[in-house]
Amino acid sequence: MDTIGNDTEARIAERIRYEREARGWSLADLAARSSVSKAAISKIERRDNSPTAGNLVKIAGAFDLTLAGLLLRAEGEMPRLVRHADQAIWRDPETGYLRRQMFVRPDHPVEIARIELPAGQSVTLPASSYAFIRQVVLMVAGELTITEGSAEMTLFAGDSLGFGVPADVTFSNQSGEGCTYLVVLSRS
């Protein structure tokens, strides 16, 4: 299993630097395109700080990638059959948000990730992260409040929500227990 540790963070840092340099962008260019500070990007690339989910989504969006697309490039191509033990895992150091990439391939339009969000935590993702995808959230356990633009919806186990026009989205676990949900997306 690819754990949440030095290897994963090193591959993410290397991939961000590679994507930036392949485009001929300076740190300032990537900062302007992603709305992530130059200092934060530099610290991520040097592995002085672990990136948050929000910052990774913004950086991926600047590269015209989804978060899963960026992580896929960092991890290398996945086979058609992805065993549970081989699925990439990443944890947001700020919130404890745990993302298991269950399925993603560059030659397939669908991605599936399993998210565990601890009690009392929230993650906000910018509208830009939804510009080139269509997404559905399927609740597995617990409850999750999703604020999409000005609309707020609470989902419970078994509920699903298809996202509309790209807007800033906050995933918030306001309960006293962790929640688990699947994110299924297709690239448009």
| CA atoms within a 13 Å half-sphere pointing along the CA-CB vector of 18 | 10
Distance CA 65, CA 187 (A): 10
Distance CA 3, CA 185 (A): 23
User: Comparing 11 with 41, which gets the higher pLDDT?
Assistant: 41
Residue 2 CA, chain-centre distance (Å), reads 16
CB 114 within 8 A of CB 102: yes
CB 1 within 8 A of CB 85: yes
Locate tokens 């597995």: which residue? 140
pLDDT digits (tens, 9 = 90+) for 18-60: 899 989 999 999 999 999 999 999 999 999 988 888 899 899 9
Token pair recorded at residue 185: 């997306």
User: Comparing 125 with 72, which gets the higher pLDDT?
Assistant: 125
CA–CA distances in Å: residue 119 to residues 93, 95, 143, 161, 173: 15, 10, 10, 20, 6
Domains located in the chain, CATH noted: 6-73 (1.10.260.40), 80-187 (2.60.120.10)
Mean confidence (pLDDT) of the chain: 88
Per DSSP, helices labelled H in the chain are 6-22, 27-34, 38-46, 53-62, 67-75
Q: Is the pLDDT of residue 140 over 80?
A: yes
Q: What pLDDT is stored for residue 44 in this prediction?
A: 94
The candidate with the shortest Cα–Cα distance to 159, out of 172, 146, 175, 148, is 146
Distance CA 6, CA 149 (A): 36
Residue 129 CA, chain-centre distance (Å), reads 9
Ranges 63-77, 102-116, 141-155: which has the least confidence: 63-77
CB 57 within 8 A of CB 67: yes
Q: What pLDDT is stored for residue 3 in this prediction?
A: 37
Residue 133 CA, chain-centre distance (Å), reads 13
